[in-house]
Amino acid sequence: MRASSSVWPIPVTVAPDKLAQIQSEFSREWLRISTSAQQGALAPPADRRFRSEAWTSHAASLMAAHTYLLTAKTLDSMVDAADIDEAVRKRLRFSIMQWVEASSPANFLVTNPDAQRELIKSNGQSLCRGMANLISDLQKGRLTQSDESQFELGKNVGITPGAVIYQNRLMQLIQYAPTTQQVYKKPLLVVPPCINKYYILDLQPENSFVRHAIDQGHTVFLVSWRNPATTDTDGVDQATWADYLQEGVLQAIDVASSISGSRQINALGFCVGGTLLASALSLAHARGKQPVSALTLLTTMLDFADTGVLDVFVDEQHAQKRDQELGQGGLMSARELGTTFSFLRPAELVWNYVEGNYLKGQLPPAFDLLYWNADGTNLPGPFFSWYFRNTYLENNLRVPGKVKVGEHALDLGTLSMPAYIYASRDDHIVPWQAAYATTGILGGASRFVLGASGHIAGVINPPAKKRRSYWAHDDAVPSAAPATGAAQWLDNAAEHSGSWWPDWAAWLSTRSGAKVRAPASAGNKKYTTLESAPGSYVKVRAQ
């Protein structure tokens, strides 16, 4: 196997003995498949795309499915055997994966017996509906992954009662109404990722993390990041990483502290929101302030040494391109961000919908999480270019003093408050080992908890569903725990059935102060209600 292009500037070779072994395995498996097919005994493949009766009852289609899967397996074996640097191997594997998923016989009408049956059964109407779906998606500029007509923000998603009590050019701050007569003295500030909209944490009442925290007696404040648009004229497209720390996170902390009357509050950051939160607190510490007494980080990276599959996009050439395009202003579009993340899992998030929406003329079912997933956000160009270079490329945040905001050098090791660090075991965006590495960066003792499932489904796991599980230790992880200890940590961890939310709630309750009477209304004299939750910023859709 050889390749020579701008992507692969050096030959990609496989040693003769390894290539011979791969060829032998291919021939042996091909003979088995062919013989079984001739005898009418070819079993259905395990792959869900080819398990239906239409595939298994049609000999040619079943053979095509097995041939496709064998080819995919062989290509993977050749990538594994290639004599190349590991970084090049990752990129080659990613590229091969894209080609393999795109070439599945399930993706084409002429080779998909399920779609052909639907075409005949509907007298051609499935094809008409499919073309209508395709035209609609082309107009939207994205795949439809959920029946979006069934959801409306503020009506049946993002409906936890609250009020916007502060806003600036980067964010609105929401204070939620209490559901208990007494609340903890220290409020909880939630910092979601600015790369997505906050209501992933407040989808519907039965799976709202925000509602769960409120029901535990916490006064919850939440940052709703602005979705900048090309038509904005206030300079938001020039906002920097430092702006997000100061005008975003630290300003939200000041407001929450003022309204609650608590000198210190508790804070939670999710994904990029956790990176922002930890960086902002490091800046506050450099200025001689310690505004947060207990820190929660959900699927967050502070050490970017292992960025998982996203590593295929990270190199100096890409960083320079972003610096030139966006470093002085402009927007990183939600469409580009959304497409990138979808193609990290193309079988599930792209080609599955090509088959259903276009070949079969179906509409996907209503799913609140996927409705949210399609509601993307733009990012200010300078923010994005700084973030890409200083985290994914150069991994500067974890180095004490390497990053400065003005005259203040950031040192995440100064964060000595207790921390609750959550990771998802099957997370393809934040590998759980990378999240565990945070325990070796923060200066205080951490409770590390590992949940089942992925980046979003692992986090949004309400207790009432009684689904999945999580792993934890009785003892906290000591400060400066080595990242290499992740595997050992898991080996010694106990698995618990159900949601990790009660574990977190029990941890936070002992660090939230005494109970006081719940506030009768949102805000105070200085910060008054501007509008009802979910607010106007979150309703702006990216074009």
Q: Give which of 303, 302, 277 is closest to 292, Cα–Cα.
A: 277
Give dist(CA 534, CA 154) in Å, integer: 6
Compute CA 167 distance to the chain's CA centroid, rounded to the nearest angstrom.
Answer: 26
> Are residues 329 and 382 in contact, defined by beta-carbon separation less than 8 angstroms?
yes
For residue 377, the one-letter residue type is: T
Instruction: State the pLDDT at residue 7.
Output: 47
Per-position pLDDT tens, the chain of length 543 = 333 334 445 567 888 899 999 999 999 999 999 999 999 899 999 999 999 999 999 999 999 999 999 999 999 999 999 998 888 899 999 999 999 999 999 999 999 999 999 999 999 999 999 999 999 999 988 899 999 999 999 999 999 999 999 999 999 999 999 999 999 999 999 999 999 999 999 999 999 999 999 999 999 999 999 999 999 999 999 999 999 999 999 999 999 999 999 999 999 999 999 999 999 999 999 999 999 999 999 999 999 999 988 999 999 999 999 999 999 999 999 999 999 999 999 999 999 999 999 999 999 999 999 999 999 999 999 999 999 999 999 999 999 999 999 999 999 999 999 999 999 999 999 999 999 999 999 999 999 999 999 999 999 999 999 999 999 998 776 655 665 689 999 999 999 999 999 999 999 999 999 999 999 999 999 999 999 999 999 999 987
**Model pTM?**
0.93
CATH assignment of 162-330+379-539, among 2.40.50.1070, 3.40.50.1820, 3.40.190.10, 3.30.590.10: 3.40.50.1820
* Paired residues of 182 in beta bridges: 517
Helix 125-140 with 113-121: angle, nearest 10 deg? 110
Domain boundaries, the chain: 16-110, 122-151+334-377, 162-330+379-539
User: DSSP labels for 380-449?
Assistant: EHHHHHHHIIIIIIT--TTSTTTSEETTEEP-GGG--S-EEEEEETT-SSS-HHHHHGGGGTSSS-EEEE
Active site residue 271: yes
> Are residues 220 and 518 in contact, defined by beta-carbon separation less than 8 angstroms?
no
Which one of the listed residues 157, 271, 332, 359 is annotated catalytic? Answer: 271
User: DSSP labels for 297-364?
Assistant: EES--S--S--GGGGGG-SHHHHHHHHHHHTTS-EE-HHHHHHHHHTTSHIIIIIHHIIIIIIS---P
Cis peptide bond prior to 534, omega within 30° of 0: yes
Q: 445 CB contacts (<8 Å, ≥6 apart)?
A: 418, 419, 476, 477, 478, 479
Give dist(CA 253, CA 166) in Å, integer: 11
DSSP state of 541: P
Q: Which of helix, strand or coil describes residue 41?
A: coil
Neighbours of 497 (CB within 10 A): 10
